[in-house]
Chain A
Amino acid sequence: GQQVMQIPQYQHVQEGEDFTTYCNSSTTLSNIQWYKQRPGGHPVFLIQLVKSGEVKKQKRLTFQFGEAKKNSSLHITATQTTDVGTYFCAGGGYSTLTFGKGTMLLVSP
Chain B
Amino acid sequence: NAGVTQTPKFQVLKTGQSMTLQCAQDMNHEYMSWYRQDPGMGLRLIHYSVGAGITDQGEVPNGYNVSRSTTEDFPLRLLSAAPSQTSVYFCASSYGLVSDRKAFFGQGTRLTVV
- Contact residues in A for B107 (Cβ distance below 8 Å): 42
Given A43-B43, A43-B90, A88-B42; A95-B99 close (CB under 8 Å): no
- With both beta carbons as reference points, the residue of chain B lying nearest to A10 in the complex is identified as B40
In contact, B31 and A95 (Cβ under 8 angstroms): yes
How many Å from the CB of B11 to the closest CB on chain A?
Answer: 17
In contact, B45 and A98 (Cβ under 8 angstroms): yes
In contact, B102 and A45 (Cβ under 8 angstroms): yes
Within 8 A of A (CB), among B76-114: 90, 92, 98-108
In contact, B105 and A43 (Cβ under 8 angstroms): yes
For the complex, is B26 an interface residue (Cβ under 8 Å from A)?
no
Among B35, B58, B101, contact of A92 (Cβ-Cβ < 8 Å): B101
Give Cα A81–Cα B57 distance, bound, in whole angstroms. Answer: 39
- With both beta carbons as reference points, the residue of chain A lying nearest to B91 in the complex is identified as A42
Tally of A interface residues using CB under 8 Å = 24
Given A42-B108, A95-B31, A95-B48; A33-B101 close (CB under 8 Å): yes
For the complex, is A107 an interface residue (Cβ under 8 Å from B)?
no
In contact, A42 and B41 (Cβ under 8 angstroms): no
For the complex, is A39 an interface residue (Cβ under 8 Å from B)?
no
Among A6, A42, A102, contact of B105 (Cβ-Cβ < 8 Å): A42
For the complex, is B50 an interface residue (Cβ under 8 Å from A)?
yes
In contact, A96 and B45 (Cβ under 8 angstroms): yes
Within 8 A of B (CB), among A32-91: 33, 35, 42-45, 48, 50, 88, 90
For the complex, is A20 an interface residue (Cβ under 8 Å from B)?
no
A interface residues (Cβ-Cβ under 8 A, vs B): 1, 6, 9, 30-31, 33, 35, 42-45, 48, 50, 88, 90, 92, 95-102
For the complex of A and B, list the 3 residue pairs with the smallest distance between their C-beta atoms, beginning with the closest.
A101-B42, A99-B43, A42-B105
B interface residues (Cβ-Cβ under 8 A, vs A): 31, 33, 35, 40-45, 48, 50, 56, 58-59, 90, 92, 98-108
